Amino acid sequence: MAELRQQLLVLHLHTPDLNSNVVAWAMYDGTGKNRYTTGDSETPPYNSVIEAMIDGWRVIQFPQQFPAYPDMEYYTSYLRFEYILEKLEEI
């Protein structure tokens, strides 16, 4: 029986639409085959969540929704439209 390891892909989109352009991303590889670091690429691995799904990634978390309060633009927080995807790979 094959042993599986998880790969994670975090995509931050311009809007909540799954076809929206990726503005930031991070990858984590539980197989140990690749070691990704922040800023190791200027182009995202996919242009949208839909494109990643077509390549076999599964969405496991949708963005958190929060109310927009006045003056919130002056505070730092997480990026709004974050999707977390996973893929299981044989090792």
Per-residue pLDDT tens digits for 17-74? 999 999 999 999 999 998 887 767 889 999 999 999 999 999 999 887 666 667 766 7
Amino acid letter for position 31: T
Q: How far is CA 82 from the centre of its chain?
A: 6
More confident residue, 66 or 4: 4
Say if CB 77 and CB 41 are below 8 A apart. no
CA angle 73, 62, 12 (to 5 degrees): 55
